[in-house]
Amino acid sequence: MSTGQGPVRTVELRHLRAFLAVAEAGNVTRAAAALRLTQPAVSRTLAALEQHLGVRLVDRSTHHLSLTPEGVVFRDKAAAAVAAFDEAVDPGGLRHWPLRLGHAWSALGPYTTPLLRSWQQRHPETPLELLRIDDRTAGLTRGEVDAALLRGPVDAPGLVTEVLLSEDRVAAVTADGPLAAHATLRLADLAGGPIVLNTVSGTTTVDLWPRGARPAATVTVANTDDWLTAIAAGRGSGVSAASTADMHPHAGVAYRPLVDAPAVPLLLARRDAPGHPTLPELASLAHEIIGRNIAP
């Protein structure tokens, strides 16, 4: 591929920032405006990066640019590298290096507040920042957090996980609907109507139901707030971990035990690379609090 300039010998931050801006904007013109560069400069920088890597990162066959499969993989790597650099040169971070703990929903359930309070007492010099990020790995693969609380199986490469506990599942149904009159529910009770699925960060899919008895209709949403809103509006029912009932009460949603669904593992995940020096202490404290059943 011809770039109009010699091959780049060393990938610099400007190459990564240009690529990430294009990936975010889906358009070179908007990316250039965000970077305060000219469109030709961004195009040349992106082409030089692709030439260095030897792969196409962006599909230019349509007006709205999209990432190639290689571009999708590289986006997370580039985002993690840029985030690590920005963090390393942040003057405030040199004085107080916070430990960023991501979660997509429900955090550590009823143990969340005890964890935050105990951490503050034992490690006042290291703030523990709890960040909700609507992503299957809660921003961990993109370098937005140092560790993450994740539910269900996680197959993202380059992560190390350990199980903190297993949570029962609950059904989330419309508060004034007929299913709310039951003390407990089964999967078959929900299959008669639409199921609301959070396809971005949720763990429930139609595979939870036996083959031949799966729901006929689904409603897809992108985050927990929209999931709750759809259920409250009567668009369908949902399935989640028991902690959701503690962390996300909603006037229009009733939670009921789901007696025939398998439990959900709650994982503490980190990247398989050198990370924040207090990660071992975080894991130890989480196990300690859960083991002592310190919860409201």
Q: What is the pLDDT of residues 142-161, one digit of tens each?
A: 889 999 999 998 888 889 99
- Distance (Å, whole) CA 251 – CA 223: 18
Report the C-alpha gap between 272 and 161 in whole angstroms.
9
Q: Convert the pLDDT of each residue in 98-135 to its tens digit.
A: 999 999 999 999 999 999 999 999 999 999 999 999 98
Identify the pLDDT of residue 92: 56
β-strand partners of 100? 129
- Average pLDDT, integer, range 223-229: 96
Cα distance between residue 183 and residue 257, in whole Å: 8
Quote the CA–CA distance of 91 and 110 in Å, as a whole number: 35
* pLDDT number for residue 143: 87
80 exposure class (CB count in 10 Å sphere: 0-12, 13-18, 19+): buried
Question: What letters, b where the CB count within 10 A reaches 16 and e where it falls short, cover 128-166?
Answer: bebebbbbbbbbbbbbbbbbbbbbeebeeeebebeebbe
Confidence band, pLDDT 50/70/90 cuts, at residue 26: confident
d(CA 93, CA 91): 5
Q: What is the pLDDT of residue 63?
A: 65
233: phi then psi, degrees, rounded to nearest 5:
-80, -5
- Out of 25-29, 230-234, 290-294, which region has the weakest mean confidence (pLDDT)? 290-294
d(CA 73, CA 114): 36
All structural domains of the chain? 13-88 (1.10.10.10), 91-166+265-291 (3.40.190.10), 169-262 (3.40.190.10)
pLDDT for residue 232: 98
Give yes or no for residue 280 having a pLDDT over 60.
Answer: yes
> Is the pLDDT at 2 greater than 80, yes or no?
no
Taking the whole predicted model, whether its pTM rises above 0.85 is answered as no
User: Tens digits of per-residue pLDDT, 59-69?
Assistant: 887 667 889 99
Distances (CA, A) of 221 to 34, 109, 174, 200, 202: 29, 22, 16, 8, 10
Beta partners for 159? 271
Q: What Cα–Cα distance (Å) separates residue 284 from each residue in 3, 20, 52, 130, 183? A: 51, 35, 43, 17, 37
Helices (H) and strands (E) in the chain, counts: 10, 12
Q: What is the pLDDT of residues 6-18, one digit of tens each?
A: 455 678 889 999 9
DSSP per residue, 150-185:
EES----TTEEEEEEEEE-EEEEEETTSGGGG-SSB
Question: Model confidence at 296, in pLDDT bands (50, 70, 90)?
Answer: low
pLDDT average, residue stretch 227-247: 97
Percent share of the chain, pLDDT over 90: 69
In the prediction, which pLDDT does 3 show? 40
What is the pLDDT at residue 11?
A: 85
Over residues 209-219, mean pLDDT: 94
* 127 contacts 282 by C-beta, under 8 angstroms: no
Residue at 86: amino acid letter: D
With contact defined as beta carbons under 8 Å apart, do 258 and 187 qualify? yes
The residue type at 1? M
Q: List b or e across 257-296, with b for residues whose CB sees 16 or more CB atoms inside 10 angstroms.
A: bbeebeebbbbbbbbeeeebebbeebeebbeebbeeeeee
**Residue bearing tokens 């503690």:** 246
Is 96's pLDDT higher than 70?
Answer: no
| Bridge partners for 162 per DSSP | 268
